[in-house]
Structure 1
């Protein structure tokens, strides 16, 4: 059997399993790369020449047709075998397939990903109310699904469709994050449906064994630093000691405050560019225009004392709801608090739900960005590229990021935050 193409994915990726399962049920052969290292291979020129966004899953068809975004690939693969029922047998069934695929992605899968990142400390400082809200919304969705499946074997008709495969992939992913024993007891029909799908003879090798959590993942706060034991109090000076000796002893007993470590950025030569004045100008003026904040910036900027950078989130394929991506930017800025007097930022979310990026611009003290941003534990989750304001493209990017009208690859700015 000839292969229809190559699917770039990582082992165990839920959305990749959906596509592979669709191919298996449709009787189609789809190849996987011999080896793939995420965040390495998808950044190589040969991959980017085919898929400039660098996102997986990505499909490279045998006929040269290329496609990314998991739902689009799965639908395309399913369409190659029209008699497989994967997309339904009429317009109404096709609409139901789309409904449940979207529901699985946005109402179940999205919250699995958000909760995982939250408890792992990879987005915004952990907040119990946020975690609880995400969990409650996912439980509500699972109960809706359970109620629907109470009188049905499959989601659309009497045969497996792409909707069933998508739901099964998201349930398997949730099984290792949120779907603990107490929750599983509340949704028996969902679990029955899931076990039915993943144990189909054609699919068992793709889904593999499912390990169910007994208790949902929870946030573990970092251990507090142990305080050193206070030294024992010095004995009281004897009366016969000379007064001046007693005074010296008393002085030694007074705890001396350790001098604060000086930030190396404070040792840089004085700059004519006042960052606080710039922040005020940016806040009080229109960004563009003859008397705008950008005009003020170009009149006062000191390229020897400060540098301008582009910042991009490395893991855009993990982003889901745009409002949560905006909150993530806010969390990153909160963790940069120690560098407030050395840094200005304008960073935003571009795109739409399940198809967005985080990008923007920074103005930093000095010529090296690392001493400014490494105060944030997650600074390595972002890539930093020095911008040359003498270059037309770099200048246009910088101005658009500050004006909040930046557009990248057709994705428009939908929300943003400033670090001032």
Structure 2
């Protein structure tokens, strides 16, 4: 069997395993690179000349065609096996496959990834944000479970890329967040998961699942042992001399009998100098005033905005070619905003879907605390799926800014179809 190309990935990367699973079901052969050391080889010029992002999974076809981003590679590999039905066999099935892939990645994978990154120390731990993202899971899990109550697979009568996405997404949830008690609440979803993971052609690719008995919780790093105290010289006798040693002993007992509480970490944005622009006042003005025209919220904004304490950004979804139904794209914005909950006091947003079904884009405006958008939006694990450009809201970008706030923005003939606010 001739190889369709070479796949760069890591042994534990779930998105790479989904690509391998798609190839296996499609009867396609993927080669491994002759050698690959992660964090080293993907930073070398020869790798970056093919894959500018420096990310894996990365794919190079036998014809020299190159791709990065796991989702794009999985869809491409699935498309090379047209008789497999991995992408669906009709336009309706293809749309449903895309619907469930998007739903799994935005409503389950994203909040799970957020908590897991904090648990692993990749991000500073914040208990309310962790719990918030865990609390987002029951609803989409229930939606999937109820859909599968009368079906073997998510779409049609054969395995599709949507089912392989269940195998990719849920393994992290089952090994980190979802314990047996919770797992038992969604038996149909778990049945599909085991069907995909135990499939004879895929079992060796997926590997075993290490199910948990209890959800994993954050464990603070161990503190360094305290330096022993040097003995103090005895004090001269005096009326109050006996009380001093007693107080010292009490202090030492307090130190020895309990670990002092760890100081609550402050977000860097909380350390910025106080701004004259009140974001909460702006949110109220935007909600209660007409947007454009004399006395409108835009006029209110222009009179009070503090460019030293805040910044304005245009945000665009990077993968508009993957968008299908406009209502699904609108739901995607909602999911992105839900995952930004931890940034509520630092952020205002107005984003929308422009265009029509199968020909649309996602774009809009964010107003962020500080001069940089990243400390604000990285609350959402999928923030890298969007590009950010500073806006000259009073100058060259005035029309874009005001129209995005007023929900009448039009770009290249694509009119505003649906909008969402983050307030």
TM-score between both structures, scaled by the size of structure 2: 0.59
Work out whether residues 129 and 342 of structure 2, in 8 Å CA contact, stay in contact via their aligned partners in 1.
no
Tell me the residue number matched to 1:203. 202
Q: Kindly state the Cα deviation for residue 150 of structure 1 after the two structures are TM-superposed.
A: 1.0
Work out whether residues 179 and 214 of structure 2, in 8 Å CA contact, stay in contact via their aligned partners in 1.
yes
Tell me the residue number matched to 2:178. 179
Work out whether residues 87 and 161 of structure 1, in 8 Å CA contact, stay in contact via their aligned partners in 2.
yes
How far apart, CA to CA, are the structure 1 residues paired with 2:46 and 2:340?
29
Closer, same or farther in 2 for the Cα pair 1:225/1:5, shift >3 Å? closer
Work out whether residues 234 and 253 of structure 1, in 8 Å CA contact, stay in contact via their aligned partners in 2.
no
- SS of 2:184's partner is helix
* Structure 1 residues without counterparts, runs of 5 or longer: 240-245, 256-277, 284-291, 295-319, 332-344, 361-396, 406-413, 415-420
Work out whether residues 111 and 137 of structure 2, in 8 Å CA contact, stay in contact via their aligned partners in 1.
yes
1:61-100 superposed matches below 5 A: 61-100=61-100
Tell me the residue number matched to 2:290. none
Q: Deviations over 1:83-129 (max 9, x none)?
A: 101011100000000001111111111112111112233323422x2
1:105 matched to 2:105? The reply is yes
Q: Deviations over 1:375-409 (max 9, x none)?
A: xxxxxxxxxxxxxxxxxxxxxx9xx6999x9xxxx
Closer, same or farther in 2 for the Cα pair 1:252/1:119, shift >3 Å? closer
Q: Deviations over 1:221-279 (max 9, x none)?
A: 3446666679689466289xxxxxx99x9999999xxxxxxxxxxxxxxxxxxxxxx97
How far apart, CA to CA, are the structure 1 residues paired with 2:337 and 2:8?
25
| Larger gyration radius, structure 1 or structure 2 | 1
Work out whether residues 58 and 66 of structure 1, in 8 Å CA contact, stay in contact via their aligned partners in 2.
yes
1:221 matched to 2:220? The reply is yes
Work out whether residues 3 and 62 of structure 2, in 8 Å CA contact, stay in contact via their aligned partners in 1.
yes
Closer, same or farther in 2 for the Cα pair 1:164/1:326, shift >3 Å? same
Closer, same or farther in 2 for the Cα pair 1:144/1:234, shift >3 Å? same
Work out whether residues 43 and 54 of structure 1, in 8 Å CA contact, stay in contact via their aligned partners in 2.
yes
1:347 matched to 2:341? The reply is no
Closer, same or farther in 2 for the Cα pair 1:147/1:231, shift >3 Å? farther
1:144 matched to 2:126? The reply is no
- SS of 1:356's partner is helix
Q: Deviations over 1:121-175 (max 9, x none)?
A: 3323422x22221111122211111111111100001100000001111111212
1:16 matched to 2:44? The reply is no
1:273-288 superposed matches below 5 A: none
Tell me the residue number matched to 1:114. 114
Closer, same or farther in 2 for the Cα pair 1:356/1:148, shift >3 Å? same
How far apart, CA to CA, are the structure 1 residues paired with 2:214 and 2:247?
51
Closer, same or farther in 2 for the Cα pair 1:187/1:254, shift >3 Å? closer
- How many residues align structurally? 294
1:243-392 superposed matches below 5 A: 321=336, 346-349=371-374, 354=382, 356=384
Work out whether residues 325 and 358 of structure 1, in 8 Å CA contact, stay in contact via their aligned partners in 2.
no
Tell me the residue number matched to 2:363. none
How far apart, CA to CA, are the structure 2 residues paired with 1:106 and 1:94?
18
Closer, same or farther in 2 for the Cα pair 1:251/1:150, shift >3 Å? closer
Q: Kindly state the Cα deviation for residue 18 of structure 1 after the two structures are TM-superposed.
A: 0.9
RMSD, aligned α-carbons = 4.3
How far apart, CA to CA, are the structure 2 residues paired with 1:357 and 1:149?
29
How far apart, CA to CA, are the structure 2 residues paired with 1:24 and 1:236?
85
- SS of 1:67's partner is strand
Closer, same or farther in 2 for the Cα pair 1:121/1:147, shift >3 Å? same
Q: Kindly state the Cα deviation for residue 353 of structure 1 after the two structures are TM-superposed.
A: 7.5
How far apart, CA to CA, are the structure 1 residues paired with 2:11 and 2:68?
17
Work out whether residues 26 and 84 of structure 1, in 8 Å CA contact, stay in contact via their aligned partners in 2.
yes
Work out whether residues 347 and 401 of structure 1, in 8 Å CA contact, stay in contact via their aligned partners in 2.
no
Work out whether residues 155 and 164 of structure 1, in 8 Å CA contact, stay in contact via their aligned partners in 2.
yes
How far apart, CA to CA, are the structure 1 residues paired with 2:77 and 2:18?
10
How far apart, CA to CA, are the structure 2 residues paired with 1:96 and 1:14?
22
